[in-house]
Structure 1
Amino acid sequence: MDQIDPEVIPLFGGLSLEQVYEKGREIQQKALEKEFNYRCVEGFYFLRIGLRKNPLFEHIKLQKALQDCCILEVGCAFGIDGRDLVFSQGVKPENYLVIDISSTFIDLGFELFEDKNTMKNCFAVKSVGDEDFSAFVKSKLKRVDIVVATLVLHVIPKECKEFVDQVYQLLEPHQGMFIGETMGIDLPDEEPFYFERHNSPRVCHTSVSLTKLFQSVGFKRVETTFLSRWRRGGEGITATCKEDEEKVKNRARLAFIAFA
């Protein structure tokens, strides 16, 4: 049960740690049966708070009052961070839009937290690759102050730059912020590393390459910091050469915040 962040227990309306663990295992199994190739499911990370534990989150609190912000979260998985911000940080549900490409993830999140009646309007099935992505977001939120993408960028290598550009366009009128984490590699290289995990395309950014990406679309200031390395997860990785394959096996979480 070490995988569970104690701070998520209050989100389960009186359930004990053991009960939350059993419920989480049940949901995990249902997700794995759908063959989701995501470490957040395999590693039981979906019961850990991500956004508020991001070391760069303090920048947001210094810049804006969360209770007054309109927030877009992309790639929510089961939706732990959205629920945490609404129930423990005072973010208004009508100002929080949570999207994921998988309706199964969203439905399993409702099953996990048993809150579909109260939270259903916060969630939507949408892909960042959809032509109407920006228009859809604008139709749901009166403005966008913060965009959150935790462990998303590395799984969309083909759409990554276009997505970051759309995020900037949504944030720039309101001098907003883009915060999240991606898989990174702690090297001085100026270009990212491309690889596959179980035949799914992935990209691993360095701090330099991620900063260049954000600045190329207009972000004015970017900060990054490396977090813990994956203890497992080297299996199923193939890269363009053996040298790169060994490098990406030592990948780590790369936290970022970019200011429009």
Structure 2
Amino acid sequence: MSSSTQSQDTNVAWFDEEPSESQIPPSARRLLETYSGVPPDKVVEHIVHLRNEAWRIFPYPCIGQFRFLEPGIDGLREYDEALNRLRDGQKLLDMACCFGQTIRQLVNDGAPSQNIYGCDLQKDFIELGYKLFKDRDKLRAEFVVADILDPTSSLRDLRGQMDMIYTGSFFHLWGLQKQKEVSRAVAALLRPEAGSMILGRQIASVEAFEKTSATGTMYRHNVESFKQLWEEIGKDLGVVFVVDARLEKLNDDHFMGDDTKRIYFSVRRA
């Protein structure tokens, strides 16, 4: 996506000039220092420089507030399982991978990078990921630039091939009906075997509701509505999905209301 006046406007609630200490989790700092080789006294400068480049592409709140640095997949109960399965040769797709921070976390924790795929709508984010993590010459993960809703995109080559799919801050980008369409498209990428699973986290709410704003319509789930969504998708596809989900509070520096939570989930083929 090209730059726009809107994307360069930093006078919004979800843009912080510099990250606070709480916005740079120890795991993110460790990743940049040990995996990427960024000197400890240059970490903040490096992060801000790359974040500002990304902001000019598109002003996602997760970029404005440095939330791409937060622990993501490693906050899931299934993280160790995912690592072990990758070490055993299984494949994982990071959907809407942004900078590919999840991919680098997995690799730094021992997953073979050749077993990991990343997909994003924005090629610029993938390129910025190489700059952020300084690993263009060593990372063997395969990246795909594609729209999940485009049946002719290069994602078609991955249909039925993925053992695991990570969806961080992804499904919540749409209203409920569009989420169903997107979720079915993601499920089609899973290997049609028991144990194939979708993992993720996203913005949620104590009470599920649909929100319409200038940027579009978004549906925020609670645990019950999320389970119902996948029950309906399973019936549509003739598949039984077992859902494990939990709500957790956001960090104290978020700009949303008290009812806003984060949902962590796994959706596993029975």
TM-score, length of structure 1 as denominator length: 0.80
Counterpart residue number, 1:69: 90
Specify whether residues 9 and 141 from structure 1 end up closer, same or farther in structure 2 by C-alpha distance, changes over 3 A only. Answer: farther
- Within 2, Cα distance between the matches of 1:23 and 1:71? 28
Specify whether residues 46 and 229 from structure 1 end up closer, same or farther in structure 2 by C-alpha distance, changes over 3 A only. Answer: closer
Asked if the contact 1:229–1:250 (Cα under 8 Å) also holds between the matched residues in 2, the reply is: no
Is residue 2:65 matched to residue 1:43?
Answer: yes
Unaligned runs of 5+ in 2: 1-20, 235-239
1:118 Cα shift? 3.1
Superimposed CA distance per residue, residues 34-54 of structure 1 (whole angstroms, 9 cap, x where no aligned partner): 3x2322211112223310122
Asked if the contact 1:95–1:141 (Cα under 8 Å) also holds between the matched residues in 2, the reply is: no
- Name the SS of the counterpart of 2:41 in structure 1: helix
- Within 2, Cα distance between the matches of 1:86 and 1:173? 26
- Within 2, Cα distance between the matches of 1:201 and 1:227? 23
1:150 Cα shift? 0.6
- Within 2, Cα distance between the matches of 1:65 and 1:48? 23
- Within 2, Cα distance between the matches of 1:17 and 1:200? 39
Q: How does 1:249-260 map to 2 (within 5 A)?
A: 250-260=259-269
Is residue 2:188 matched to residue 1:179?
Answer: no
Counterpart residue number, 1:240: none
1:141 Cα shift? 8.1
- Equivalent of 2:74, from 49, 52, 55? 52
Is residue 2:170 matched to residue 1:152?
Answer: yes
Specify whether residues 14 and 116 from structure 1 end up closer, same or farther in structure 2 by C-alpha distance, changes over 3 A only. Answer: closer
Counterpart residue number, 1:165: 184
- Within 2, Cα distance between the matches of 1:73 and 1:58? 16
Is residue 2:135 matched to residue 1:112?
Answer: no
Counterpart residue number, 2:237: none
Is residue 2:104 matched to residue 1:83?
Answer: yes
More deviation, 218-227/114-123:
114-123
Aligned residues with identical type, % of pairs: 22
- Equivalent of 1:25, from 48, 70, 77? 48
1:229 Cα shift? 2.6
Asked if the contact 2:174–2:216 (Cα under 8 Å) also holds between the matched residues in 1, the reply is: no
1:184 Cα shift? 0.9
Alignment size in residue pairs: 237
Specify whether residues 60 and 121 from structure 1 end up closer, same or farther in structure 2 by C-alpha distance, changes over 3 A only. Answer: closer
Asked if the contact 2:73–2:79 (Cα under 8 Å) also holds between the matched residues in 1, the reply is: yes
Counterpart residue number, 1:203: 219
Q: Which amino acid aligns with 2:71?
A: I
Counterpart residue number, 1:99: 119
- Name the SS of the counterpart of 1:212 in structure 2: helix
1:56 Cα shift? 4.5
Asked if the contact 1:48–1:80 (Cα under 8 Å) also holds between the matched residues in 2, the reply is: no
More deviation, 36-45/117-126:
117-126
- Within 1, Cα distance between the matches of 2:142 and 2:192? 23
- Within 1, Cα distance between the matches of 2:62 and 2:218? 15
Specify whether residues 140 and 223 from structure 1 end up closer, same or farther in structure 2 by C-alpha distance, changes over 3 A only. Answer: closer
- Within 2, Cα distance between the matches of 1:152 and 1:229? 17
Unaligned runs of 5+ in 1: 235-247
Specify whether residues 145 and 138 from structure 1 end up closer, same or farther in structure 2 by C-alpha distance, changes over 3 A only. Answer: farther
1:198 Cα shift? 4.7
Counterpart residue number, 2:12: none
